[in-house]
Amino acid sequence: MTMTIDAPRSQAPAKKRTNWEKWGWIYMRASGVLLVVLVFGHLASNLLITEGGVHAINFGFVAGKLASPFWQIWDTLLLWLALIHGANGMRTIVNDYVSRPGLAKAFKVALFLSAALLILLGTFVIYTLDPCPAGADPSLVASFCKA
């Protein structure tokens, strides 16, 4: 009886690939829960807690809220999570219903570019909005603005 020992294989183990569909699925569930909290908090602060309800919302109200770092972070989270959540949902619809690979890729690129552009512009507005623009009507700006 002859015993032989096989030489060790020189092949490196296969690299594990990231399962993007799984992480997209997890993101949709986690962001959905966070979005419910963020949206209802946003609505409560703007419509229920504010004196005057929807009639009190004007430039001064929005600019006054966005002057607070708390509301800047809140609205940034809401913007980013909602746009990425929506774009990922649209990507899933494209995967399910668009059968031509070239057209599907074009739709996904358009989705990515539009979501990225809206995220960049929205974030820019949140952090650069001037609550007290020069020459504005004092009745329209935030209450803390000096005339």
Q: CATH no. for residue 82?
A: 1.20.1300.10
Rounded Cα gap, residues 85 and 38, in angstroms: 13
Task: Indicate the number of domains in the chain.
Answer: 1
This prediction's pTM: 0.79
pLDDT (tens digit per residue) in 48-72: 877 877 888 888 888 888 989 999 9
Whole-number pLDDT of residue 137? 80
- Would residue 76 count as lying in a domain? yes
Query: Has residue 20 been placed in a domain?
Result: no
Q: How far apart are CA 144 and CA 147, in angstroms?
A: 9
54 occurs within a structural domain: yes
The answer to whether residue 72 is domain-embedded is yes
pLDDT of residue 53: 79
Structural domain of 59:
30-128
Other Cβ atoms less than 10 A from the Cβ of 31: the count is 19
